[in-house]
Structure 1
Amino acid sequence: MSNKEQQIGGLDGFILVTASKKKRRTTQNFKCPFNIHLKNHESKKPSEESCDLGITAFLQNFKKIEENLIASDFFKEIVNLIEPLLNQAKIEAIICLGLGKLSECLISCYQLALIRCLKGKLKDFSGKIQFFDPIFTYKDIEILQLLDTAVLSENLEGKYLADQKTLFYLPHCPKQISNNLLWRNWQPELLKNVYLICNSFENIILGNPERVLNDNATYILKAEKFCKEIKFLNNFRYTDIFNDFSLHYFDTSTFFTDPGLSVEPEYKIADLELITRKIQTNLKLKNGYN
């Protein structure tokens, strides 16, 4: 290489390889020291003996991640931006979708740390965060349960009913999942319960042609008129973890029912971004487990 590589130790237990000090850091050059690898793409449940050591190491490192995140300017600024709103709303449920493989991905670990740390700032919330991702492995599920969270078993493709004040956390999830969530709650008495941290709706609308939005993000497009968005400043030291995050909530006083928006979204196979129930079932059958 033309630029001198430098290894830096002591950062959350990870090793950074950098080509230039002027470049902002991403997680691309970090390796997770607590990867838990299993054969056959995690298709078989491992024995307890084979994974206890890996999980212990993971939890030790994850505690450091949470501590470092809480101490960061990024987290302090996020708390100042959204804590008053969420506490005023009196959040009753937290649902996280699409977190990814914790046992393999550093980005997923930091994204998990964010929602757990935000939960700690909610004065009236005493429940468990609920998680779902169709790619969770046995190890991911075990880790989440050890962290005192709940893991959901059914793939609703984002179509969760907000019958109580709910904070939905969709870190870097496909826009079709957010679109499905909006469809499921496309009534003023339900939308007022939705608080959604995900990729910025404004950026989705500005960054996609009209055809793509009409085919894959109809409800996001229609919600623009009464959606309030609080953008997160991406000043965390790793710039590919929380980039494009925003908190969205809805002023339903300006909501009006559009009869043309009562049909459940359907997506062309060529445009699919999410893992549907059908795809998930096929993957399980292919890998030989249920």
Structure 2
Amino acid sequence: MSEEFTIVQSKKKHRKFGKSAQVKCNRASSPAEFDRDKILKRINYCETELEISEYFQTAIDIIKTAVNNHRISEIICLGIGSISESLTAKYQLAFINLVQRNLNIQSINFFDPLLSAGEQEVLKALKHTVLSENKEGKYIAESPTLFYLPHCPKQLTNNLLFSNWDPKYLANIFLISNSFQRIITKTPERFLRPSANFILEVNPFVSEVEIENSFELNTCFNDTSIHSFTPTKLDTASANLWINPSQPTYIEEDLEIVLNGSKKFKTTDEQLCKVKDEMHFLGQTYLCYLQSARNYKRINDEYKGAGERTVEATAKLPLVNKTKMSQKKEFFNIHNNLTSIPCLLINKNVLIFLRNESWVAGKIVDADGLMNIFMEKVVYCDQKGLQYKLDNYGIRNRQILYIQIPESIDLTSAIKDYLDKLHTPMNKSTKRTFKIKRAQMKNQETVNELKGKQF
């Protein structure tokens, strides 16, 4: 009878990952996932919430006062950000929409290289215009224009001022952006001059009013002011200020969206957008590890020390090499203090306690006036109580805590005898030299002459 097998499959559905799985490298959603109506609904909610807030009521009054009955022809908004993903960008868009309605401005023109195709459709649904050309902020205000640059880099504002560097054009600009005064206060002039020289030059002639941030989301409208250029202040400037302004130049790190060209984001089938470089990075990392390991071994072999000395190696260290200066010091110490005591104990068995809480017992075979001691047949006991038998052991003077003197030694008489030995007169040589012989012969001749004379 044949056996039958039943194939059992799991009811759980496993998600498959492979090369065909689409992973997005860009921040923008694909058209299938982009919900325009949902974003429009969210923006409408932001407008409703913002319109009844105390912050907007204060802000619109300040803006109306700054505009001062000028008929604003259009609004140009730069750097609004991603309105599909950023809550801050949604509130900033809601803010400029409310300003347009309150001031009865005909149109708003937007440009931001980060805007995706879906976000551009949202702006068009709100009856706004999306500019296609990146003018790097160089828009000329031929008629009264409200510029809205929410948290944009100062280089973009600098370009806007450069393109309108004439009193008749500056008088048409009403700019809502980061505070000029704070930019100048927070940044030293030597750093600000290369990247925002037009802000520095025009600051004395600008009328700036801060829009105090009282909104519940602090990051949406912080550090915001409205700037206007009244003819009265502009007329006080020197005429040479407006002649031949230099084209602003920036270093690469300062460009951001001032660059002439937008940042392009694309969807891709590559996982995490780094598969093609992942093995290269892994290989470079491993190569760096191997090179570092080899360099460490080479340096360690060349420069490593011998480590901590053993007890035997310490015992065999030579005593201090004596110079003429040390010999004089030794002679002085022997006659003026008790450093000569180890010299009295030569060929005696003594116990010496050291400063590192260890002790040494053995026979002193040599010592000097500096209290350096050399011993034989030694027992050394370390701090842990472990004992070692050594043939030789040298002790430097700075290691000695105290010396236990045997009771059989009379210290006073021993010191006196030792000093007497040091001062024992040397026996004169009895050998007659030629000089001595000649002197003795002359003396003898003189004596003989004196004896031969009669007095």
Using the size of structure 1 for normalisation, the TM-score is 0.78
Identity of aligned residues (%): 39
Q: Does 1:265 align with 2:266?
A: no
Q: Does 1:41 align with 2:26?
A: yes
1:48-70, CA deviations, whole angstroms, 9 ceiling, x for partnerless residues?
xx53xx11111112111101100
Q: 1:1-290 residue pairs with structure 2 within 5 A? A: 39-41=24-26, 46=31, 50-51=33-34, 54-86=35-67, 88-123=69-104, 125=105, 127-251=106-230, 252-255=234-237, 256-258=239-241, 262-278=245-261, 280=262, 283-284=263-264, 287=266
Larger radius of gyration between Structure 1 and Structure 2: 2
Residue 254 of structure 1: SS of its match in structure 2? coil
Amino acid corresponding to residue 262 of structure 1 in structure 2: P
Compute the displacement of 1:43 (Å).
7.7
Amino acid corresponding to residue 237 of structure 1 in structure 2: E
1:11-68, CA deviations, whole angstroms, 9 ceiling, x for partnerless residues?
xxxxxxxxxxxxxxxxxxxxxxxxxxx9452689736xx53xx111111121111011
1:212-239, CA deviations, whole angstroms, 9 ceiling, x for partnerless residues?
2101110000011100001001111111
* Pairwise CA RMSD: 2.2
Q: Where does structure 1 differ by over 6 angstroms across 4 or more consecutive aligned residues?
A: 42-45
Compute the displacement of 1:260 (Å).
7.2
Contact 1:87 1:122 in 2 (8 A): no
* Matched residue, 1:28: none
Q: Which runs of 5+ in 1 are unaligned?
A: 1-37
1:86-142, CA deviations, whole angstroms, 9 ceiling, x for partnerless residues?
25111111100000000110000000111110111114x2x2100000111111101
Compute the displacement of 1:79 (Å).
1.6
Q: Structure 1 residues 212, 70: CA separation in 2 closer, same or farther (over 3 Å shift)? A: same
Contact 2:174 2:226 in 1 (8 A): yes
* Matched residue, 1:5: none
Compute the displacement of 1:272 (Å).
2.9
Compute the displacement of 1:253 (Å).
2.1
Amino acid corresponding to residue 75 of structure 2 in structure 1: I
Contact 1:187 1:257 in 2 (8 A): no
Amino acid corresponding to residue 71 of structure 1 in structure 2: I
Amino acid corresponding to residue 166 of structure 2 in structure 1: Q
Using the size of structure 2 for normalisation, the TM-score is 0.50
Contact 1:179 1:218 in 2 (8 A): yes
Higher relative contact order (CA 8 A, sep 6+): 1
Contact 2:25 2:267 in 1 (8 A): no
User: How far apart, CA to CA, are the structure 2 residues paired with 1:243 and 1:184?
Assistant: 27
Residue 115 of structure 2: SS of its match in structure 1? coil
1:126-169, CA deviations, whole angstroms, 9 ceiling, x for partnerless residues?
x2100000111111101100111000000011110111100000
